[in-house]
């Protein structure tokens, strides 16, 4: 049975970059956001059920994330409907990935790991972290949100300090070199745990 690592972190903390570093080091990485993109795309498994439950969110045979975001802003109660459709499909994809994996360490890149209690299914949790100033700068430099949207997202997430406290490892992503060193250390520590188990 492979060792399951939950990788999490708030917006702008460098989680995607850190996931890529784990992949470069030979770990298999399952990306929750990528799975949701696949489920929402044309022919995706979530499209028929979303078209039935929230028809205005489906355009040209795919779920429009922009339209969905607007609908959720006006009617937050729709989130429950959406989660009831998407969460089981995401869980099914994760289970399939795990079954087909040949790696001894699998990294599950899940932004809302603690918020969804996904940490309970992991052998260890890694949280990425950086100073609030760098975090804000990174998130806003993407050009996909303004300060108000950024603050709204932050309010919905568990505070970074709490995520770090609840994690087995914290990776500081101030520079790529520093992050890479820490990823190597985490992998070495996990390999020791696997041998000792």
Tens-digit pLDDT profile for residues 156-175: 889 999 999 999 999 999 99
Indicate the pTM of the whole model: 0.90
Q: What is the Cα–Cα distance from 20 to 35, expressed in whole angstroms?
A: 16
Residue 195, pLDDT score: 87
> Do the Cβ atoms of 8 and 170 come closer than 8 Å?
no
Token readout for 28 is 């298999």
Cα three-residue angle 56-145-142, rounded to 5 degrees = 120
DSSP H helical ranges for the chain: 15-24, 32-40, 47-53, 65-74, 78-100, 132-141, 147-156, 160-166, 176-196
By CB neighbour count within 10 A (0-12 exposed, 13-18 middle, 19+ buried), where does 148 fall?
exposed
Average pLDDT score, the chain: 93
């Amino acid at each position: 049975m492979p060792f399951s690592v939950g990788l999490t972190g708030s917006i702008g903390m460098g989680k995607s970059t850190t996931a890529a570093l784990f992949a470069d080091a030979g770990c298999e990485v399952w990306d929750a956001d990528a799975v949701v993109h696949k489920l929402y795309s044309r022919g995706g498994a979530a499209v028929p059920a979303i078209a039935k439950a929230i028809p205005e969110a489906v355009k040209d045979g795919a779920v429009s994330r922009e339209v969905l975001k607007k609908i959720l802003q006006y009617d937050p109660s729709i989130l429950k409907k959406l989660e009831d459709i998407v969460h089981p499909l995401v869980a099914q994809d994760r289970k399939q990935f795990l079954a087909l994996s040949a790696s001894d360490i699998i990294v599950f890149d899940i932004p809302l790991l603690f918020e969804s209690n996904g940490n309970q299914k992991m052998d260890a949790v890694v949280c990425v972290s950086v100073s609030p100033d760098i975090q804000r700068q990174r998130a806003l430099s993407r050009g996909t949100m303004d300060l108000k949207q950024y603050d709204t997202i932050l309010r919905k997430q568990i505070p970074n300090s709490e995520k770090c406290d609840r994690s087995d490892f914290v990776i500081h992503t101030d520079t790529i070199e520093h992050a890479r060193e820490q990823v190597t250390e985490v992998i070495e520590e996990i390999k020791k745990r696997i041998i000792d188990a």
